[in-house]
Amino acid sequence: MSNTLLRVSPSDLKMPFELKKQNSACLELVNKTDHRVAFKVKTTNPRKYAVRPASGFVPPRGSCGVSITMQAPKEIPPDYHCKDKFLVQSIVAEEGTTLKDIVPDMFSKVPGKLVEEFKLRVIYVPANPPSPVPEEAEEEDSLDSDVDHEVERPSTSNYISGHGHTSGSPTSHNEDVSMVSKSGEQESRYAEENKKMQKELVSSDDDFLSISRLVALSVSHTLLLHK
């Protein structure tokens, strides 16, 4: 059954836990009525916690914050389990009620008196939890890995298409030997053709000289006839 006077949040007191360091957590008390409500906060371990304020008033339809500070723990409990609990008591305050009037007897349950109670358990949480990775950063990392993967593929495929097999395979070795032998045959063929071309050039030079001599003799003979 929900309370009709105060709404207490959160429903569990999540206390940051850090060895040898004090930490605090807060409660919010919201008045759900049109009356001033008095409250008091109790705990099962009063030496361990400091509550500010431990008692007070919440104005009509208003709210009030309560700070709870835990003393620096000296050791880590098994499984970070905490047995401590808190109790928030509330009652409609009568006209003229002051802070001095908020005493334990004020919240005693008697017939015809509405006293509400809200219990909270203490849950330890890491004082410095790891920050989550933004989704955008994860997407960028994924895109970068995809790009790197795509860049690597062409180099591998080009190597395979250019050589057919890895350098250590027998087929690649045979192909290399075949290419060397073909290159030697081509060089021999080029050398023979070069020799033939040189002979033809020498022969053509001799013919040219012979023709030149004949022309010179003909010209000399013609000049003698004219004389």
221: phi then psi, degrees, rounded to nearest 5: -65, -40
d(CA 53, CA 41): 8
CB atoms near residue 167 (< 10 Å): 9
Q: Among the three residues 79, 110, 126, which one is the final residue of a domain in this structure?
A: 126
Note the pLDDT tens digit of each residue in 136-193: 655 555 545 544 444 444 444 444 444 444 445 555 555 554 554 555 565 566 567 6
Domain count, the chain: 2
Note the pLDDT tens digit of each residue in 84-114: 999 999 999 999 999 999 999 999 999 989 9
Proportion of the chain above pLDDT 70, given as a percent: 56
Asked if residue 182 belongs to a domain, the reply is: no
- CATH number of residue 57's parent domain: 2.60.40.10
Asked if residue 35 belongs to a domain, the reply is: yes
Give Cβ neighbours of residue 3 (< 8 Å, ≥ 6 apart): 32, 90, 116, 118
Asked if residue 79 belongs to a domain, the reply is: yes
Q: What is the reported pLDDT for 127?
A: 87
Amino acid identity at 181: S
Give the pLDDT band (50/70/90) at residue 83. Answer: very high
- SS3 (DSSP) at 40: strand
Asked if residue 16 belongs to a domain, the reply is: yes
Domain that includes residue 197, residue range: 192-227
Task: Report yes or no: 38 and 56 within 8 Å, Cβ to Cβ.
Answer: yes
Q: Among the three residues 107, 126, 145, which one is the final residue of a domain in this structure?
A: 126
DSSP 45-82: -TTTEEEESSEEEE-TT-EEEEEEEEPPPSSPPGGG--
